[in-house]
Amino acid sequence: MGHLQQFTLTGKGTIDGRGNNWWGKQKSRPATIQFNDVKGSALSGLTVTNSPQFHVTLTNCDSVQIVGITIQAPESGPNADGIDTFQSTNIVIKDSTIGTGDDCIGIGDGSSNIRISDITCGPGHGISIGSLAKGNTKADVHSIHVNGAKLKSTTNGLRIKTWQGGSGMARDITYENVHMEDVSNPIIINQFYCETGDTGSRCKAQGSAVKISNVQYSNIRGTSATEDEITLLCSQSGSCTGITMENKDLVTNSGAHAACNAQHVKARTLGVVIPSACLGQNAK
């Protein structure tokens, strides 16, 4: 659907993309619902299942609300993202349940003023910004706010991923009031993102990277399936700044407080932050 204004797609039914007919057989696969150049519109109530690829995509959209939808796909479904935004602004995603084989919500290049609230995610790869700046391109993502999310048994929690060699920015990002259960890699910034199995030069430092700044994590609690609860892998160029952690308490599934791993970044801590040893206590 494209070039629409004041359009509403709503209902209580199910849209089944029958992705099992596509998975593993075709490289070029369609999304189930695509909003292209849509303004002042809404998607609500529906259940979307088993998309060949992404379930819902927003491209070049402005002022779109996605409310009260359910997205379901098996964990094995390849690239079956729940909701993805590209080159879109003033987007609201709330009161929805998403379980897929990839990102529950993916925020791509050109996204700004994205408001996400009261989301249940799992299975899947969590809530992701990126990947950004693949192929030495320039990225611009800003003003992203996640407030209220429950993530269960996802392979990542809150993730920002960028490629080496790129440029641009990802800034003014807030995550708050997030509960995790059995989540691998609960908090991760990875400026050395690579495709699975790629160990070439694209995975190594290239002298430039997307600048990540003003990222705040507040009231993040629950259990981690891995030992590293916090992973901040930033470039030597100092392109990660203004990272703040406030009132974060994650433990492993056994109840122990695990480790954190921070590279070329210091995070400012407020309140009780566990673990915090790698962050640089109260760093600025």
Angle 48-144-12 (CA atoms, 0-180°, nearest 5)? 20
CA distances to 78, 102, 159, 243 from 55, rounded to whole Å, are 12, 11, 20, 32
Output the tens digit of pLDDT for each of the chain's 284 residues. Answer: 778 899 999 999 999 999 988 988 767 899 999 999 999 999 999 999 999 999 999 999 999 999 999 999 999 888 899 999 999 999 999 999 999 999 999 999 999 999 999 999 999 999 999 999 999 999 999 999 999 999 999 999 999 999 999 999 999 999 999 999 999 999 999 999 987 656 555 677 887 899 999 999 999 999 999 888 899 999 987 789 999 999 988 888 888 776 788 999 988 999 988 777 788 754 44
Q: What residue type is assigned to position 59 of the chain? A: T
Q: Note the pLDDT of residue 245.
A: 94
Number of H helices, E strands in the chain: 0, 22
- DSSP lists the bridge partners of residue 260 as 230
Domain boundaries along the sequence of the chain = 2-274
Cα–Cα distance, 41 to 22 (Å, whole number):
30
Spatial CB neighbours of 236, under 8 Å, sequence gap ≥ 6: 205, 264
Tokens of 132: 């950004």
Q: Note the pLDDT of residue 157.
A: 97
Q: Note the pLDDT of residue 273.
A: 86
User: Among all chains, which residue has been given the structure tokens 């809404």?
Assistant: 42
Q: Would you say domain 2-274 falls under CATH 2.160.20.10?
A: yes
Number of neighbouring beta carbons within 10 Å of residue 48: 23
Q: Note the pLDDT of residue 129.
A: 98
User: Among all chains, which residue has been given the structure tokens 């299942």?
Assistant: 49
Contact 33, 43 (CB under 8 A): yes
User: Among all chains, which residue has been given the structure tokens 């959209």?
Assistant: 61
Q: Note the pLDDT of residue 197.
A: 59
Query: What residues are annotated to the active site?
Result: 102, 125
Cα–Cα distance, 109 to 13 (Å, whole number):
31
Cα–Cα distance, 241 to 211 (Å, whole number):
8
The DSSP-derived string for 161-174 is EE-TT-EEEEEEEE
Q: Note the pLDDT of residue 182.
A: 96
The pTM score is 0.94
The DSSP-derived string for 102-141 is S-SEEE-TT-EEEEEEEEEE-SSS-EEEEEE-TTS-EEEE
DSSP-assigned letter for residue 59: E
Q: Note the pLDDT of residue 199.
A: 57
Q: Note the pLDDT of residue 169.
A: 97
Q: Note the pLDDT of residue 207.
A: 79
